[in-house]
């Protein structure tokens, strides 16, 4: 279980997270939604401790990692977590096969002789075949993302943090990825935290949806509750309307 209490984070003078209280229970899928710049990525990066929070507390299975400085201890906690980056973050210097196998040597006890088999298996899981020898630069955006997902899945983490897993994918592939996230939960009991703009996917996969607005949680609940909600902020976002209380400042972006 991941427990977050009173989490705050600022970059310079800009307060991005303004006190988040949130729990991710084992085996559930939580989607975090909200406009750009509301601190969704910052939130899960704090959980992964890629970013150091300013205030608050993050407990991963009871272990407080909020202000741990020792990289050695941090890497031990990170073992239980997988992180899918928005743009994939594949290593350019390695080919696809080496990318997918990368975490195995550090995070698992698998024998190097089995790496090939695991790579094949995980690539097949995300619908890719025979591309082990290709370079990341030769792949399309969607393929990169799926290879990155295969890389995360290869190390079978207990918690999976996805930073926009379906953005940049065609609708069919988006749905396949959504199904995959669901399947991982059902088969392996994996806990997933999904940052997404894809409302359809959020409705489909989530046990719970968390709506972030201006660095705070505005609403959380089941997809059914979100569908029924008459909160004007939530409605505007879920319906994808330019009219409503959320005013995007076009000039600033």
The residues of the shown chain that bind another protein, judged by CB under 8 A, are: 45, 48, 50, 71-72, 74-75, 78-79, 81-83, 85-87, 89-93, 102-103, 106-107, 151-152, 155
Contact between 52 and 215 (Cβ < 8 Å): no
Shortest Cβ 110–another protein spacing (Å) = 13
Q: Which of 50, 199 has the CB closer to another protein?
A: 50
**What would the two tokens of residue 196 be?**
């997404």
Shortest Cβ 11–another protein spacing (Å) = 11
Q: Which of 161, 209 has the CB closer to another protein?
A: 161
Contact between 155 and 107 (Cβ < 8 Å): yes
Shortest Cβ 130–another protein spacing (Å) = 24
SS3 70: coil
Q: Which of 78, 146 has the CB closer to another protein?
A: 78
Shortest Cβ 83–another protein spacing (Å) = 4
Residues 6+ apart with CB under 8 A from 152: 82, 83, 84, 103, 160
Q: Which of 99, 201 has the CB closer to another protein?
A: 99
Task: Please list the residues that pair with 7 across neighbouring strands.
Answer: 20
Contact between 16 and 10 (Cβ < 8 Å): yes
Residue 108 per-residue DSSP state: -
Shortest Cβ 81–another protein spacing (Å) = 7
**Residue 141 backbone phi and psi in degrees, to 5:** -55, -45
Q: Which of 78, 185 has the CB closer to another protein?
A: 78
């Amino acid at each position: 279980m991941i427990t977050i209490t009173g989490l705050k984070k600022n970059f310079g003078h800009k307060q991005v997270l303004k006190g988040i209280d949130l729990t991710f229970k084992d085996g559930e899928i939580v989607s975090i939604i909200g406009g750009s710049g509301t601190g969704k990525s910052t939130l899960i990066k704090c959980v992964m401790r890629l970013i150091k929070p300013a205030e608050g507390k993050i407990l991963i299975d009871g272990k407080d990692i909020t202000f741990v400085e020792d990289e050695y201890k941090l890497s031990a906690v990170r073992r239980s977590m997988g992180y899918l980056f928005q743009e994939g973050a594949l290593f350019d210097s390695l080919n696809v096969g080496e990318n997918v196998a990368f975490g195995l040597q550090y995070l698992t006890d698998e024998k190097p002789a089995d790496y090939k088999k695991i790579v094949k298996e995980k690539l097949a899981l995300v619908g890719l075949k025979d591309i082990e020898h290709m370079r990341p630069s030769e792949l399309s955006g969607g393929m990169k993302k799926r290879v990155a997902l295969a890389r995360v899945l290869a190390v079978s983490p207990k918690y999976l943090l996805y930073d926009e897993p379906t953005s940049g994918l065609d609708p069919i592939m988006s749905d396949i990825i959504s199904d995959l996230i669901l399947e991982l939960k059902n088969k392996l009991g994996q806990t997933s935290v999904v940052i997404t703009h894809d409302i359809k996917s959020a409705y489909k996969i989530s046990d719970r949806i968390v709506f972030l607005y201006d660095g705070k949680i505005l609403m959380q609940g089941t997809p059914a509750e979100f569908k029924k909600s008459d909160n004007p902020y939530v409605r505007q976002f879920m319906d994808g309307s330019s009219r409503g209380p959320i005013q995007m400042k076009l000039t600033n972006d």
